[in-house]
């Protein structure tokens, strides 16, 4: 089962029963002072940096979210990499290779950001490989044809940007800074996907039908990507209180729908939702019901590609063992040489 949340020992049972402020029960006078300095920094919208004091529950939440995010980036390489060898032209192949490489880079920035919280990369990857850690539901669906690659760029990366731009203002410095670069690259990814689809929509009837079919298959999965409705989101209130999350799951989902509708019109595709319509009074679009049972089944390991995705990551890790061993042996040799020279 690929279900359990990533659990990092925090040395404190109290952290499990936190309220809106994660204050362990018996705080020493020194800890109480540190906690109030931390709260004041958060209230003033300041940044927390790695060597500064932070409540264990804040650290644990960040490790959970950032490591899940990192896993999503590297698992997210798989559905698109599947099309590198079959891209329809050299230009599309070069763009796709660059995009997939960017996702690997995003994974690296994010693992590095999480490491500053005192967790090791091996520990995080073990969480992924043993199925304890989550990664985004969206990457458990197959990319069936070339139009899927365009739609993943347009809608999946579009949803990712909507979710990630507010993370550039996250209260934890290393995560916020990593997100600035990630968002710049994601916005290139989104535009390349949209442009590839615009070209297909000027092609044959068959090409147009491929695009519409891909939009039909991905639309609802992208809406679910933002996470459960606010009322069913156990982590939201605390995440927002700490300035980790800035905009709620439902508000981001609404912004995504409102931004995407006009783009779909320009593209000439229909979004597969009979209930999707402009609500004059709200100044936003109404939309239909998301299938949350399907979302949770996928998050809990039973989506169409969960086993394939995890299998590919475990195989890559095992196949790369010799590279890690060689790098360590080389580093050791260099260290011995430097010590000899210094002596
Ligand atoms: N899939 O209380 P909630 C990308 C989990 S990368 C799976 O609302 P939170 C891209 C959630 O983890 C996309 N699980 O949680 C990459 C929690 O479980 P745990 C990834 C999900 O943390 C390559 C439980 O449901 N983006 O786009 O406040 C190529 C309850 O949820 C999902 C990020 O990771 C999901 N969709 O909010 C192209 C961004 N949604 O951990 C594109 C950073 C929820 O308690 N992360 N869950 O066991 C976030 O912004 C937040 O963590 C989330 C969830 C909005 C995802």
**Ligand 1 close to Cβ of residue 248 (< 6 A):** no
Could you tell me if 187 and 161 are in contact, meaning their C-beta atoms sit under 8 angstroms apart? yes
- 8 Å CB contact between 39 and 86: no
Structure tokens at 209: 């039908």
Give the DSSP letter of residue 26.
S
* CA 62–ligand 1 middle distance (angstroms): 12
pLDDT at 29 (0 to 100): 87
* Beta-sheet strands, E only, within the chain: 277-279, 284-286
Q: Is 306 in the pocket of ligand 1 (CB under 6 A)?
A: no
Strands 277-279 and 284-286: antiparallel
The CB density around residue 194, as the number of other CB atoms within 10 Å, is 19
Q: What is the pLDDT of residue 14?
A: 37
Q: Which two tokens stand for residue 164?
A: 């990630």
* pLDDT score at 171: 98
Q: Is residue 68 within 6 Å of ligand 1 at its C-beta? A: yes
> Would you say 309 and 128 are in contact if contact means Cβ atoms under 8 Å apart?
no
CB distance 73 to ligand 1 below 6 Å: yes
Element (H, E) at 189: helix 173-200
**Which one-letter DSSP state was computed for residue 284?**
E
Cβ of 271 less than 6 Å from ligand 1: no
The stretches in the chain having pLDDT less than 50 are 1-24
Distance 135 CA to ligand 1 centre (A): 7
Give the pLDDT of residue 25.
56
Taking the C-alpha atoms of residue 167 and residue 319, their distance in angstroms, rounded to an integer, is 34
pLDDT tens, residue by residue, 43-64: 999 999 999 999 999 999 999 9
- Distances from the Cα of 76 to the Cα of 32, 44, 160, 235, angstroms: 42, 35, 11, 23
Residue/partner pairs of 317-323 with CB below 8 Å, 24 or more apart: 317/125, 317/129
């Amino acid at each position: 089962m690929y279900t359990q949340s990533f659990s990092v020992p925090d040395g404190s049972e109290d952290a499990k029963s936190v309220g809106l402020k994660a204050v362990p029960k018996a705080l020493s006078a020194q800890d109480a002072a540190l906690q109030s300095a931390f709260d004041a920094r958060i209230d003033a919208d300041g940044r927390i940096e790695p060597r500064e004091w932070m409540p264990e529950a804040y650290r644990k939440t960040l490790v959970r979210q950032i490591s899940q995010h990192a896993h999503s980036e590297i698992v997210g390489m798989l559905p698109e990499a599947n099309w590198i060898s079959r891209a329809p032209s050299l230009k599309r192949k070069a763009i796709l290779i660059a995009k997939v490489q960017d996702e690997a880079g995003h994974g690296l920035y994010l693992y590095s950001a999480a490491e500053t919280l005192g967790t090791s990369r091996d520990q995080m990857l073990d969480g992924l490989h043993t199925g304890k850690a989550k990664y985004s539901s969206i990457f458990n669906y197959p990319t069936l044809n070339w139009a899927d690659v365009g739609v993943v760029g347009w809608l999946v990366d579009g949803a990712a940007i909507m979710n990630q731009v507010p993370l550039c203002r996250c209260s934890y410095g290393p995560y916020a800074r990593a997100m600035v670069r990630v968002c710049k690259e994601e916005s290139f990814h989104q535009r390349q996907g949209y442009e590839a689809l615009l070209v297909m929509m000027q092609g044959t009837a068959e090409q147009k039908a491929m695009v519409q079919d891909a939009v039909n298959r991905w639309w609802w999965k992208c809406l679910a990507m933002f996470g459960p409705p606010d009322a069913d989101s156990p982590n939201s209130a605390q995440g927002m209180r700490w300035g980790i999350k800035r905009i709620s799951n439902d508000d981001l989902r609404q912004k995504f729908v409102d931004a995407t509708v006009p783009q779909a019109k320009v593209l000439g595709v229909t979004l597969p939702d009979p209930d999707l319509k402009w609500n004059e009074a709200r100044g936003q679009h109404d939309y239909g019901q998301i299938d949350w049972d399907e979302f949770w089944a996928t998050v809990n390991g039973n989506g169409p590609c969960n086993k394939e995705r995890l299998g590919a990551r475990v195989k890559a890790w095992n196949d790369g063992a010799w590279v890690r061993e060689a790098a360590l042996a080389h580093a050791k040799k260099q260290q011995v040489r430097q010590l000899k020279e210094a002596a």
